[in-house]
Amino acid sequence: MGERADLDADRCLLTHQVFTSFGDVTFRRAETDGTPVMVVLLGDREAAVPLRALQREFGIGDESPDGRMLGLIAESLDYVQGLHLGDRLPSEVLTGAASWELGPAHQETARGKLKAHLVAWMAPDLADESLQGAAAGDAMAARRLDEDPELRRQIQAAFVRAAAALDLPGPSDVVAKLEELAAELSYVEALRELLLRRVQTMMARVQRVLPSGRSDVGRNGTLMQVQRLTLIALRQIGQRFAEVDAQTSEVTAALRNIESQQAFIRSNRDSLYRSLRAWDPLLKEWDGAPGPEDDGFWSLLARSYQFLAARYMPVQEWQTARGVRQRGGNPPGRTMSW
């Protein structure tokens, strides 16, 4: 992958005086609607000005050096909380590589998946629990692929056959390509744990409360809405992972087209990472949430509904709910206001 920005533009640097005459300025997303803004301190108060408004007001064209940098700053705010002048831009907007760290377990899981898919391609009738577990993302099963002598033999044979199929000099070249692909997939595996499984855990907690038969209609209504919207969220998030899994399970095709696969994986990785950044504050609350006998649970449930409704409620229903809320009335049917 080629770099997406010139090497001399790897830091947050702007030359127009509007950016340099206010002392220390911060670039971040507005809390209200996520718009990229420049924040300056005026006395003891902060003033936030949208970057687009600054460009219009001061005639900063998109293709000018400052205009291009503002575009990179806006994109960078998908990956960092804020930027100051002189800060290095995140690697996602410079080279496409991830700027956040992951653990070796995720790399092991990704590597195990690819090895299992490779053996399945070579011997589709081979039924081995460790191979099936590794292909499904089981970290312990992935570890057994390197420990079991027979499985190691199967994997080495798959490397030899793949080298011939891909017109590569030898199995070591297949290993190198597989490691390169696994390095990209390891971030998706990390996000599966950090995002998908935590949302699934949240959903399970909500579902455990649903059969309680509580007589509080308002609380039951909120529970049902949170369950419904979380299901929609899980379908959307899960679809991203399913698409990556489907694409990379065809392992020889993935290894043959490594650059296009890298771009595909990174696009999904970045989308999922943006979702994680949005979800993470709420999921941290759910990580330590009290039980339904505590009022704090119901406060968290109400905040969860607000978060979910703004992102996953069907558009027509969301517009109806907003209109009713703005008029101060009760929404029709089962639509809830907040």
Q: Return the domain boundaries, the chain.
A: 7-94, 104-173, 187-327
Residues facing 41 on adjacent strands: 46
CA dihedral 205, 207, 213, 218 (to 10 degrees): 80
- Between the two ends of the chain, the Cα-to-Cα distance in Å is 46
* pLDDT at 146 (0 to 100): 80
If one compares 225 and 126, the residue with the highest pLDDT of the two is 225
Nearest to 321 by CA among 305, 307, 332: 332
Angle between helices 217-249 and 171-191 (to 10 degrees): 170
Burial of 332 (0-12, 13-18, 19+ CB in 10 A): exposed
Write down the mean pLDDT value for the chain. Answer: 86
For 240-266, write each residue's pLDDT tens digit: 999 999 999 999 999 999 999 999 999
Q: Look up the pTM and report it.
A: 0.84
For 18-77, write each residue's pLDDT tens digit: 888 888 899 999 988 889 999 998 878 888 999 999 999 999 999 999 999 999 999 999
* pLDDT at 3 (0 to 100): 43
Half-sphere exposure of 263 (CA within 13 A, CB side): 7
The pLDDT-based confidence of 7 (bands split at 50, 70, 90) is very low
Angle between helices 217-249 and 104-122 (to 10 degrees): 60
- Position of tokens 């109806």? 320
